[in-house]
Structure 1
Amino acid sequence: MKLNVGVPNSMHVAAMVQPWEYALSGSDIGIAMKVADELGYNKCMLGEHFVVPQSHIELSGDHYFHTTVALGYIGGQTKNLRLSSSVSILPLQSPLVHAKAWSTLDWLSGGRAEALFGVGWLKEEFDMLNVSFEKRGRMADEYLASIIALWTQEKPEFEGEFVRFRDIGFAPKPLQAPRLPIWLGGDAEAVLKRVAKFADGWSPFRTPPEKFPDCLDFIKSQSEYDGRPISMFFALEMLNVGAHHEILDDPRAPGSRSTQQIIDQIGWLKELGITETIVPLPPGISGMDEYVDRLRWVAAEIMPRIG
């Protein structure tokens, strides 16, 4: 099991954020991620929204980074930590812009980028950016195919309903060959089919954990699945977040200070097919110093015992 780390103060979702995070500066975030890097955490992860309507701010907050910009900053502070979105909203930017941003991040970071895309859920955000919410699934399929073409073809070309290009050059390509890893987040059957066709990893959100093995079997049963390994990410704190960021108060979500309880939780997730997780923070973290101490404690007490 690989242990990832969420980027603190990168989003203000009420069901997940703790008050101490609000005081962190960009410099503090860079220092925290540098510590995580030195301790051997696998990757950092952060979410994305561009605008949030006032009606959603109480639960969702309005503080979000542009994922690839923020990950570029973190990449400059670290050496080995892999750099992942969670999630980048695929239909809200041109696939040519997505492809360029992620290949740039991968090239400059020495091949550490991993794109975790989602189709989005906040209709008002789509409306404000003049993107069709109803067509976002079809757009996602074309965007993924066209991004892969840009990353892998010497002379990229693509012809679709939403994306068309030919007779172009595209460089730099991602440093990772044949392309950087693509993950997809979400729970709908269409997402699982998209994972089978395009992705290297799946990040469920509201799927009950007990159903993860069945979902993985469904992915691998699709005709377009080619036998590649499918990684899975899930963090227990996500059990506390509803589909529209409602607070669910799931008793399994809060972090623990018990070594054995954390190891048992990770063992349960591993049995369900999860390959990467985040150890949730316990309630009541007081600030940056205690957060960094928690990173060190997990690295010393948990990492060596989970394999």
Structure 2
Amino acid sequence: MVAYGMQLPVQSQSTLYAEPWEAEAGPDDLVEIARAADRTGFSYVAVCDHVAIPRRLADAMSTVWYDPVATLAFLAGLTGRVRLLSHVAVVGLRHPLLTAKQYATLDHLSGGRLLLGVGAGHVREEFDALGADFDARGAVLDESIDALRAALGPEEYPEFSGERYSFKELGQRPRPAQPRVPLWVGGSSPAAVRRAALKGDGWLPQGDPRDRLPAQLAKVRALREAAGIDGPFTVGAITEPLYVGEPAWPTGRRTLTGEPQALAESLRAYAAMGVHQIQVRFRSRSVTELIDQMAAFTTDVAPHLD
């Protein structure tokens, strides 16, 4: 069975995907949507990470980006089952011990529901403002992943020694509730695919069209095989925008619409490629319509994804 999750609306409002109604939405709407995901069987809800958006990008990206740790912790206390994904945390903006402290606490408070998605980031001004190295962000991310593996493990006093980061004899409690926090690597560049294959527990493509995914997945498999890496690995995909049923309004030419069986048949192609979880996004004109779409997907589409 292919699992399905969703990036939450409201908490990030890039013009690439935000619906008009989100501009006036707030915490109550976010809670209602997260509770609907919890109730209707979604595997996870996801939150993005940007610290500050430069004016040159604000028209396209907006400046609405909720903090992922604060938002996921808030929603953890109002849900009981759905997992909590950072998609993705730009961990190079922060010291690994700080990231570990925040996310270990989140996992502890949520009863082990964290999925830690990490990525390199792409906004130079954020790095500059925080004193982080934008040009070396790939190498920083590689080392940060190794440091996070140590810092999020079972040891109260984790140890790590790398080129940029080093720590020992520094205790952090509470420890994560999970014995091993799943670490999914985001990105679709050659470097990101390699990083996911060799260092991650899963891969989060950043919008690869479905016709490009088979080649990308072949690279992941080949890299893991060449490195002798065996074990669980979660492959994700972001689907086209969806609308269950026949919309009475223009949803855009890329949107998959139609009867549930037809939608399920289209989405099963992802499983056939080797995808384990899909991230879905619904076109909607209000929070009510979005929740109705989520319920229709769970009831009428999801049972046919196997």
**Cα gap change, 1:250/1:295 in structure 2, threshold over 3 Å: closer, same or farther?**
closer
**Cα gap change, 1:278/1:216 in structure 2, threshold over 3 Å: closer, same or farther?**
closer
Alignment counterpart, residue 167 of structure 2, candidates 141, 146, 165 = 165
Deviation string 1:211-234 (CA, Å, 9 cap, x unpaired) is 323333323333445212221222
RMSD over aligned Cα atoms = 2.1
Deviation string 1:163-222 (CA, Å, 9 cap, x unpaired) is 011122122221111x11000111122222222232111011254433323333323333
Q: Which amino acid aligns with 1:24?
A: A
TM score, norm. by length of structure 1? 0.89
**Residue matched to 1:291:** 290
Deviation string 1:139-160 (CA, Å, 9 cap, x unpaired) is 1111111111112252311112
Q: Does the residue aligned with 1:234 lie in a helix, a strand or coil?
A: strand
**Residue matched to 2:247:** none
Partners of 2:85 and 2:196 in 1: how far apart?
17
Deviation string 1:6-57 (CA, Å, 9 cap, x unpaired) is 2120111111010112222212211221121111111001211111111111
Given that 1:255 and 1:280 are in contact with CA atoms closer than 8 Å, whether structure 2 keeps it comes out as no
Which residues of structure 1 form unaligned runs of 5+? Answer: 239-248
Structure 1 stretches of at least 4 aligned residues deviating more than 6 Å after TM superposition: none
Deviation string 1:77-125 (CA, Å, 9 cap, x unpaired) is 1100000011111201111111111111111101100011110111122
Q: Does the residue aligned with 1:115 lie in a helix, a strand or coil?
A: strand
**Residue matched to 1:230:** 233
1:102-121 to structure 2, matched below 5 A, reads: 102-121=103-122
**Residue matched to 2:42:** 41
Q: Which amino acid aligns with 1:18?
A: E
Greater strand share, structure number:
2
Identical columns (%): 27
Deviation string 1:244-302 (CA, Å, 9 cap, x unpaired) is xxxxx9943x24243234213211222222221233313xx231221211111111111
Q: Which amino acid aligns with 2:170?
A: I
Q: Which amino acid aligns with 2:305?
A: I
**Residue matched to 1:29:** 30
**Residue matched to 2:196:** 195
**Cα gap change, 1:206/1:24 in structure 2, threshold over 3 Å: closer, same or farther?**
closer
Given that 2:154 and 2:175 are in contact with CA atoms closer than 8 Å, whether structure 1 keeps it comes out as no
**Cα gap change, 1:279/1:143 in structure 2, threshold over 3 Å: closer, same or farther?**
closer
Partners of 1:232 and 1:78 in 2: how far apart?
25
**Residue matched to 1:84:** 85
Which residues of structure 2 form unaligned runs of 5+? Answer: 242-250
Partners of 1:131 and 1:224 in 2: how far apart?
31
Given that 2:49 and 2:89 are in contact with CA atoms closer than 8 Å, whether structure 1 keeps it comes out as yes
1:217 aligned to 2:235?
no
**Residue matched to 1:242:** none
Q: Does the residue aligned with 2:106 lie in a helix, a strand or coil?
A: helix
**Residue matched to 1:241:** none
Q: Does the residue aligned with 1:37 lie in a helix, a strand or coil?
A: helix
1:125 aligned to 2:142?
no
Partners of 1:115 and 1:221 in 2: how far apart?
24
TM score, norm. by length of structure 2? 0.89
Given that 2:4 and 2:277 are in contact with CA atoms closer than 8 Å, whether structure 1 keeps it comes out as yes
User: Bigger shift: 264-273 or 99-108?
Assistant: 264-273
